[in-house]
Structure 1
Amino acid sequence: MQIKNFMVNQSLKELTQHRTLDLPIACYETTINQNIHGYIPLHWHEEIQFVLIVKGEASFQINEEKIIVGKGDGLFINSGCLHLAEERNQSGCVYICLNVSPHFVLSQELYPTYVTPYIQATNLPYVFVNGNEPWGENIVDALLKIKQLIEQKPQYFEMDITMQLTIIWKNLIFNGFQPEYVQTEIVKSERMKQMLSWIHQHYAEKIMLEDIARAGGLSRSECCRYFKQILKTTPFNYVMDYRIQKSLILLQQPETNVTEVAYQVGFNSTSYFIEKFRHSLNMTPLAYKKYKIKS
């Protein structure tokens, strides 16, 4: 399964249902540049995620950290962490993505001891999985087996999946990753999500810095510091990028025109919309519209 139109709600929580028919787990292949945005936009979900790069390389941002991952290596991305992915060097990056409900990782008796401390830790937004290390190779092998089990569905495959998940989790937590808890980090993450949620609800309106800051309970200067530290951008640049993202979907509808789309996503000038769109995608909105209708 390839998720090409990446849907999130106002708080950036991904809306995709990460489960098979019977299990709270999903495993699929993703080609980054086939996404409607050309990359995997910022989002979060309650499921934990394991990523394995099978072609090319990608740049991932998890919360405020960035990491480059190449073929044969992977990532563990923790529950609730904001993350995005971009292809690097036009490498045609493809990765296998395994999303699992934390409650499905281990039995309910083991969950409080061996899962809860790790998914609540503030020092583990992600773990780089080195495919050349023995523990990393074990995780990679188990992930590939889970993908095969889901695709082929042999008899008792559900139990086989749970065994492979146990292997993945044991190799992850038994390799020196000690959980820590910093309350200020938890508060910072929640405030960031609140501000982004407000932007996503009001992007088509006139937006002031004070409005964004108020949504997170911050001053204007603190608001700007949050965006710079976590998202490596300014609040207004984020708003601009988000408006461009929303315009991509509208431009693919045959009945819309560029001016209508510009105003629907919050621009008060068609020429300014065209300028910012061209700067972002290296083509005009009209050229993008024609290209998408033909394809």
Structure 2
Amino acid sequence: MQIKDFRIDQNLKERTEHRTVILPVACYETTITQNIHGHIPLHWHDEIQFVRIVKGEAVFQINEEKFILRQGEGIFINSGCLHMAEDRNESGCVYICLNVSPHFVVPRELYATHVAPYIQATNLSYLYLDSYQPWGKSILEAMMCIHDCIQRKPLNFEIDVSMHLTCMWKNLIMNCFQLTYDPSEAVKSERMKQMLSWIDIHYAEKITLNDIARAGQLSRSECCRYFKRILNTTPLNYVMDYRLQISLLLLQQDGSNVTEVAYKVGFNSTSYFIERFRKSMNMTPLAYKKSKMDA
């Protein structure tokens, strides 16, 4: 079952519980454009994630890096890393997403040695899974086996899922690079999350650059550099885009109207909200609301 509405808390941490009834594992097919936002918004979670593109192509961003993934390719996304995805060239991108608690990939006695160093490494935000490499192909095939197990639920499928996960993790760590932990990089990541968290809480209020910088314990110039490097935008442009994204959710609620939504997301002028919405979505807020009501 695809998650179409990514619910995130004030820290941009995804609130969706990734698990079956028994296992701390979730595996589902995602069509990017079917998400309520039209893309997979920026978020993070404690679970590690494996992705395999089964149709089309997508632009993924993990922390500050962007890259294209095409059909048959895959990626590992580490715990706690900010990431998002957009369909590329209207390809109708579909991917299989496997989210797993890091504590489940090996027995508890092996976690400190065989998992924790990889989860904590600051130079391992992601790892490309090459289907032309035997180890990458093995991981991607195991993903599909897990997906099939969870869909069909044959007898004792939980054991099969656990076995596949352990093999996937062994393949990944045996073909990983030399790990490093840079405290300064860890601090940068945390400060970025603090600023995004502050915006999530205060987006409906008047926001200045000083406010955002203060939330990350940074100067104004450093704050701007963080947003430029990681999100390729300015702090205040991010706030504008964030408000518009929230407005998409509110406009789809029964009984909502454009003026109320404008003020709820922090605009003090309905006409300016309509202007910015039209520029971003190529339609007015009212037209967007009607299109969703008629869908």
Correspondence 1:194-213 to 2 at 5 A: 194-213=194-213
Say whether residues 1:61 and 2:53 are aligned partners.
Answer: no
TM-score by length of 1: 0.99
Deviations, residues 65-111 of structure 1 (Å, cap 9, x unaligned): 01110000111000000000000000000000000000001011111
Which residue pairs with 1:42 in the alignment? 42
- Equivalent pairs, count: 295
- Separation in 2, partners of 1:108, 1:6: 30
The code of the aligned residue for 1:94 comes to V
Q: Name which of structure 1's ranges 271-280 and 6-15 shifts more when overlaid on structure 2.
A: 271-280
The code of the aligned residue for 1:199 comes to I
Which residue pairs with 2:243 in the alignment? 243
**Structure 1 residues not aligned, in runs of 5+:** none
The code of the aligned residue for 2:152 comes to Q
1:153: Cα distance to partner?
1.3
Deviations, residues 18-53 of structure 1 (Å, cap 9, x unaligned): 000001000000000000100000000000000000
1:254: Cα distance to partner?
3.0
Correspondence 1:1-295 to 2 at 5 A: 1-295=1-295
- Separation in 2, partners of 1:165, 1:146: 8
- Separation in 2, partners of 1:179, 1:119: 10
- Separation in 2, partners of 1:2, 1:18: 12
Secondary structure, counterpart of 2:108 in structure 1? coil
**Structure 2 residues not aligned, in runs of 5+:** none
The code of the aligned residue for 1:113 comes to T
1:133: Cα distance to partner?
1.3
Change in Cα spacing, 1:176 to 1:14, as seen in structure 2 (3 Å) is closer
1:161: Cα distance to partner?
0.8
TM-score by length of 2: 0.99
Change in Cα spacing, 1:163 to 1:37, as seen in structure 2 (3 Å) is same
Deviations, residues 131-165 of structure 1 (Å, cap 9, x unaligned): 12111110011000011111111122111111100
Secondary structure, counterpart of 1:99 in structure 2? strand
Sequence identity (%): 70
1:183: Cα distance to partner?
0.6
- Separation in 2, partners of 1:144, 1:192: 34
Q: Kindly report structure 1 stretches of 4+ aligned residues shifted beyond 6 Å.
A: none
Deviations, residues 201-236 of structure 1 (Å, cap 9, x unaligned): 000000011111111111111111111111111101
Q: CA RMSD in A?
A: 0.8
Secondary structure, counterpart of 1:72 in structure 2? coil
- Separation in 1, partners of 2:160, 2:129: 22
Q: Name which of structure 1's ranges 66-75 and 168-177 shifts more when overlaid on structure 2.
A: 168-177
1:288: Cα distance to partner?
0.2
